[in-house]
Amino acid sequence: MKTYSATPRDIEHQWYIVDAEGMILGRLATEVAKIIRGKHKPMFTPHMDTGDNVIVINAAKVRVSGKKAEQKQYFRHTGYMGHERFTPFEMMLSKHPERVIEKA
């Protein structure tokens, strides 16, 4: 049995639409990452782009478990000393729901 390695002419990229309504954030991010990386295909090769494209709809209706909705914060740094910015999960979800999924 030989090891299969995908070649660029073998790779076909498909589009997937994922509905995020009612899904838990971490589990959704895991499934989307698998599709983007291409690990759901039998022809997966780590050094080749075998992944597919994903569109996530209803990103604002994603849910989190426990008290993460009140306690989770996103961190960014402006580049200046002492200028740390923290954005609560609820604010990020209301203003930029796509970023919540990108950062998950």
Give the closest residue to 21 by CA, choosing from 62, 64, 69. 62
pTM for this model (two decimals): 0.85
In a domain, 2, yes or no: no
In a domain, 30, yes or no: yes
Handedness of CA 4, 8, 19, 66 (dihedral sign): positive
Q: How far does CA 37 lie from the centroid of its chain?
A: 11
Q: What is the pLDDT of residues 17-70, one digit of tens each?
A: 999 999 999 999 999 999 999 999 999 999 999 999 999 999 999 999 999 999
Q: How far does CA 51 lie from the centroid of its chain?
A: 13
**Which residue range(s) make up the domain with 74?**
15-103
In a domain, 4, yes or no: no
Asked whether residue 1 carries a pLDDT value surpassing 80, the answer given is no
In a domain, 84, yes or no: yes
pLDDT for residue 2: 86
Q: How many CA atoms lie within 13 A of 11 on its CB side?
A: 18
